[in-house]
Amino acid sequence: MSIAEIEAAIPRLSLEELHRIEQAVHLQYRERHDSVIYDDSYGVITEADLIASADRAFLIYDKEEQKNAKRRPR
């Protein structure tokens, strides 16, 4: 099965099926020990997750900085 086929099937899954898929993916991360930073009963956080979160935070920060730079000084 290709990634595209998996992505196309996801919207048709029930919530229970989505939960089972999520658990299976978390298990794969755990078994492979691939850049796992945090692992608990709620899931796994990887290095890639942290990088993506930081990217989003910096984008928000950069937008605010641009907006503030356009203001006139008092």
Asked if residue 52 belongs to a domain, the reply is yes
H-type alpha helices, the chain: 3-9, 15-32, 47-69
Query: Going by C-beta distance under 8 Å and a sequence separation of 6 or more, which residues neighbour residue 22?
Result: 43
Residue 73: pLDDT over 70:
no
* Predicted local distance difference test score (pLDDT) of residue 48: 83
Asked if residue 57 belongs to a domain, the reply is yes
Residue 62: domain span: 3-69
Taking the CA atoms of the chain, what radius of gyration do you get in angstroms?
A: 19
Average pLDDT score over residue span 49-70: 90
CA dihedral sign, ordered 33, 39, 41, 43: negative
Residue 74: pLDDT over 70:
no
Average pLDDT score over residue span 51-71: 89
Asked if residue 74 belongs to a domain, the reply is no
pTM of structure: 0.50
Tell me the three state secondary structure of residue 28: helix
